[in-house]
Structure 1
Amino acid sequence: MWTHFVAVLVLVGRAASQDVECVRKSTCSCKMSDESGVINLSPLQANNKDEARFVVYDDHHKYGYAFNPCHAFNDENGCSVDDDVAVCQRAPGGHASICGLQGNATFTVDQATKEVNVSFQQGTGGRSSSIKLVCNEAMNDSAAVWSFLGENPRLHYNFRFESKCCCPDGCPFENGGISAGSILVIVFFGLITVYFVAGILVMKFKSGAQGKEMIPNVSFWASLPGLVKDGFLFVFQKCRRGGSSGSVNYETLQ
């Protein structure tokens, strides 16, 4: 008995010690492995690729950092869509450096706080970025605060991004796929089309039918409206036998 008890404790301990992950779904979304939901930053992206949605400057207002979730952008200082830029560093004098690429976005979870971080690598001269995604359910879907935390270690830039969209299921996630209901409707009408086309061809060329007789099971389809009408009348009419309008009589079971 004690062996079973210890085994249960071990299993419970293992389950409790499992690290939570946020499995990447796109460059700006990931799904929490604990089933708490999907973090989706897509509502915060810029409407076009000619600018970044968010820009912040360091404490000395010397360097600027432009960021756009989901897709690359063109920056006035030289970063471009062709570079697949995620974070762009604006230096004095109009020079720009890439601080990470959209395509290699990596999501990690702080196991102590359960906060999600997204990092971008392969920037100019080895530059990279890490962004702490801070959940704030009180904010609107389209609102966010983009903050610069510092450079540590060298050429690695740390940021804080606060929004409702940083919460699991905080902002709706659209995967662009077709729903199960839509698939069923498409399959249904596809089968109906095949049924009629194939049936008409068989009736015409095999049985020599003409006109409406080419329709497969024409007698059934002709009677279908009447059958539907009878069904509605049966369901909605008052089901009773005899008696006045103020009473209902039931047949006694023997």
Structure 2
Amino acid sequence: MALFQAIHLTLTSAILLVLLAEGGQASDNTKNCKLIEESQAARAVVSKLEPLTNRTFSTTVKVDKDGYTYLFQVCGTAGSVAEGGLVQKDANGKEVLIGRYTATEVFGGSDWVMLIYKKGENYGDHCGKEPRKAIIMISCERGVSAGELSVVAEERDKNNDCFYLFELDSSAVCPAIPSHLSVGSVLLIVGFSLLAVYLIGGFLYQRLVVGAKGVEQFPNYTFWQEFGNLTADGCDFVCRSQGNREEPPTYRGVATEPLGEEPEERDDHLLPM
């Protein structure tokens, strides 16, 4: 039964791997994001971005003759600046803090999440020298775990409320697709899968290990043969008549044919002499 033990070990290992994977996904790195206004609804929205954590997204743009690289992390430090959720790096490697993940606002819909990092470095000559902030629009894109970060615009020609706008596509914010399988269908699929594993594994074991031939290659052939005989006996007992049953008494009519000549009775001895 070494093959069955190997199959059992494989299935057990697969289940453990799934549980470990789920346990890994359950680590809530999005708690590193400190919400400016903490609420259960906002925390639920930011938790959708858990699959995007522990990863640095980058994009490079050119402004006039200068090139800038933007680094972004979900609830993590993207560059060398402490608490820097989104930073700007110039050609000389100097980093400018655009927004902190410790000053986060978040909004979400059915298929999008808007992540806002605030309290960046102050502008120099723009936007009334207010702190910078980054807005990252994360949109649903099925089949894409994490797309490319792109710069949409930098709004800095106002006296206040300036921002950097970025886009990112990911399936992490997509709504769950409802399953069309009923509980019975799932049970049938699982049952047929286990039956297939039993038949294929048993056949290979009987053929390759035991060396069986013909119908004896069927796993547990003797057991199933006896089971079939017992089933047939049970069906015979329930569905068929058993033994010789006495016929119920019926009325017998008088036969029309003569039953034979009866012996003549002589009564001469009764006459007086």
Give the structure with the larger helix fraction: 2
TM-score, normalized by length of structure 1?
0.44
Larger Rg: 2
Which structure has the higher relative contact order (CA within 8 Å, separation 6+)? 1
TM-score, normalized by length of structure 2?
0.41
